[in-house]
């Protein structure tokens, strides 16, 4: 077993010639793939340059995956959302207070259409190799006894559309308390937008590869997050996904947690015939001891992970989410990428 893909995310898409310089730096850091974070603003404003940026990456030898970054605040990410700016409806609603939240409801036809159009247009206009579904989630909760956040009784979405769908299926009003029916409903509906869009992308271009990256949660008897994609079997079973990926784990969490998440990620990927992917935190925070990066990279490889990725280019240098030693962190990730790829070549011989 060997790592066959080393990726880094990249945002701030504007000029092709600037992207070219950055792509060369990615190659010198051992990256095989760039995950282009395409914001709603990029799509709306910089559209003419996106296909050219994709072509430039290809010309230099990088694979390209497109990430509709933070779209509708449904995917993870810091970007602002034009959908939310242009729509006062079709938002997720808090179950307990009934207030509209600042997240699009992805169970509404309005947002499903918007998302699909965004992706299909990019697929049509660019030569990208695939798409990256980046931490899709319900706004609330991060839930019960989560080790990454506080506990919560509130949840979403109890908007008119979700309530109507629930009523039609179960024959009674959607409760305000999370129940087994609500959990099943949320899981099932959450898959619709990604399944439909992935299927349509493949109908358009069968060679497009889909990675679905969900939150790295324990999902044990005691701890779960209920973000809508925490039933990994349900995600893994989707026939239109090619890669099962689980998201970044903060460096300060115990290494046993990294191992647990990674084992389960590989297990689910293999069970459903997908490739597996694990992430390195390459922004905001860095490990106390940089050797931890080497250990985690080795751990991923030893547990049979197929692909490794890092968020983000240059350790977030110049942004509010830069790691304290952003460039050093980026270099360290680069050294690990090169080391892992060398091992791959040895294994291949
Ligand atoms: Zn809803």
Distance in Å, CA 100 to ligand 1 centroid:
10
Domain ranges of the chain: 5-348
5-348, superfamily in CATH?
Glycosidases (3.20.20.80)
Expressed in angstroms and rounded, the spacing between residue 173 Cα and the centre of ligand 1 is 14
Of 217 and 186, the structure prediction assigns the larger pLDDT to 186
Cα(11) to ligand 1 centroid in Å equals: 29
Q: How far is the CA of 150 from the centre of ligand 1 (A)?
A: 23
250 CA distance to ligand 1 middle (Å) = 30
CA of 82 to the centre of ligand 1 (A): 18
| Average confidence (pLDDT) over 267-273 | 98
Calculate how far, in angstroms, residue 68's C-alpha sits from the geometric centre of ligand 1: 20
Rounded to 10 degrees, what is the CA torsion of 26, 316, 11, 295?
A: 50
pTM of the model: 0.96
From the CA of 174, how far away is ligand 1's center (Å)? 11
Query: Per-residue pLDDT averaged across 310-319, rounded?
Result: 98
As a whole number of angstroms, the distance between CA 225 and CA 143 comes to: 5
User: Rounded to the nearest whole angstrom, what is the distance from the C-alpha of residue 158 to the centroid of ligand 1?
Assistant: 5
| Residue 105, strand partner residues | none
Reading phi first (left if > 0) and then psi (alpha if -120 to 50, else beta), residue 110 is in alpha
CA of 166 to the centre of ligand 1 (A): 10
Residues 65 and 35 sit within 8 Å (Cβ to Cβ): yes
Q: Kindly tell me if the per-residue pLDDT of 346 is higher than 90.
A: no
Q: How many A from CA of 72 to the centre of ligand 1?
A: 13
In sequence order, the 6+-apart residues with CB closer than 8 A to the CB of 129 are: 33, 63, 64, 65, 207, 208, 209
Burial class (CB in 10 A: 0-12, 13-18, 19+), 348: exposed
How high is the pLDDT of residue 243?
Answer: 98
pLDDT for the residue 242: 98
The answer to whether the beta carbons of residues 73 and 84 sit under 8 Å apart is yes
The rounded Å distance from CA 227 to ligand 1 centre is 13
Residue 266 CA to ligand 1 center (angstroms) comes to 32
**Ligand 1 centre and the CA of 193: distance in Å?**
12
Q: How far is the CA of 92 from the centre of ligand 1 (A)?
A: 5
- Which residue is it, tokens 């000029």? 15
Residue with tokens 């605040």: 73
Q: Which helix (H) or strand (E) holds 26?
A: helix 16-28
The angle at the Cα of 66, spanning 51 to 327, to the nearest 5 degrees, equals 100
Identify the weakest region by mean pLDDT among 113-122, 148-157, 275-284, 315-324: 148-157
Q: How many whole angstroms from 162 Cα to the centroid of ligand 1? A: 4
Q: Which of 158, 143, 160, 137 is nearest to 71 (CA)?
A: 137
- The predicted-structure confidence for 103-145, as pLDDT tens digits, reads as follows 999 999 999 999 999 999 999 999 999 999 999 999 986 655 4
Rounded CA separation 149/237 (Å): 28
Predicted local distance difference test score (pLDDT) of residue 152:
65
Kindly tell me if the per-residue pLDDT of 347 is higher than 70.
no
Q: What is the pLDDT of residue 245?
A: 98
Residue 185 CA to ligand 1 centre (angstroms): 11
Confidence of residue 221 (pLDDT cuts 50, 70, 90): confident
What digits encode the pLDDT tens for the residues 275-313? Answer: 999 999 999 999 999 999 999 999 999 999 999 999 999
Q: What is the pLDDT of residue 141?
A: 65
Task: Report how far ligand 1's centroid is from the alpha carbon of 183 (Å).
Answer: 14
The pLDDT of residue 176 is above 60: yes
The yes-or-no verdict on residue 148 having pLDDT over 60 is no
Residue 231 CA to residue 183 CA, distance in Å, equals: 10
Res. 348 pLDDT band, cuts 50 70 90? low
Kindly give the distance from the C-alpha atom of residue 106 to the centroid of ligand 1, in angstroms, as a whole number: 7
Distance in Å, CA 312 to ligand 1 centroid: 31
Contact in structure between 102 and 84 (CB atoms under 8 Å): yes
- The CA 25 to ligand 1 mean position distance, Å, reads 42
93 alpha carbon to ligand 1 midpoint, in Å? 6
206 burial type by CB count under 10 A (0-12 exposed, 13-18 middle, 19+ buried) = exposed
């Amino acid at each position: 077993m060997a790592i066959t893909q080393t990726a880094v995310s990249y945002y701030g898409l504007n000029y092709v010639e600037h992207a070219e310089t950055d792509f060369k730096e990615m190659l010198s850091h051992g990256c095989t793939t760039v995950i282009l974070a395409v914001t709603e603003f990029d799509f709306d404003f910089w559209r003419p340059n996106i296909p050219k940026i994709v072509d430039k990456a290809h010309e230099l030898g990088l694979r390209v995956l497109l990430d509709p970054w933070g779209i509708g605040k449904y995917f993870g990410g810091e970007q602002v959302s034009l959908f939310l700016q242009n729509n006062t409806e079709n938002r997720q609603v808090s179950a307990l207070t009934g207030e509209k939240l600042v997240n699009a409801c992805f169970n509404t036809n309005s947002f499903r259409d918007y998302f699909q159009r965004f992706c299909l247009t990019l697929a049509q206009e660019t030569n990208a190799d695939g798409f990256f579904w980046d931490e899709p989630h319900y706004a609330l909760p991060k839930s019960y006894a989560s080790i990454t956040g506080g506990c919560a009784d509130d949840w979403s979405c109890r908007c008119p559309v979700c309530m109507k769908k629930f009523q039609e299926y179960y024959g009674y009003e959607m409760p305000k308390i999370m129940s087994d029916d609500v959990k099943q409903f949320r899981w099932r509906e959450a898959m619709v937008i990604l399944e439909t869009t992935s299927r349509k992308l493949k109908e358009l271009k069968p060679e497009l590869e889909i990675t679905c990256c969900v939150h790295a949660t324990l999902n044990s008897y005691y701890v779960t997050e209920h973000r809508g994609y925490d039933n990994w079997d349900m995600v893994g079973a989707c026939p239109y996904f090619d890669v099962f990926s689980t998201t970044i784990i903060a460096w300060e969490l115990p290494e046993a947690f990294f191992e647990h998440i990674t084992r389960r990620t590989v297990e689910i990927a293999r069970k459903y015939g997908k490739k597996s992917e694990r992430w390195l935190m390459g922004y905001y925070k860095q490990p106390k001891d940089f050797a931890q990066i080497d250990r985690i990279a080795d751990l991923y490889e030893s547990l049979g992970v197929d692909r490794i990725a890092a968020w983000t280019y240059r350790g977030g240098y110049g942004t509010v989410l830069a790691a304290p030693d952003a460039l050093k962190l980026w270099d360290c990730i680069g050294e690990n990428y090169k080391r892992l790829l060398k091992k791959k070549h040895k294994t291949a011989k």
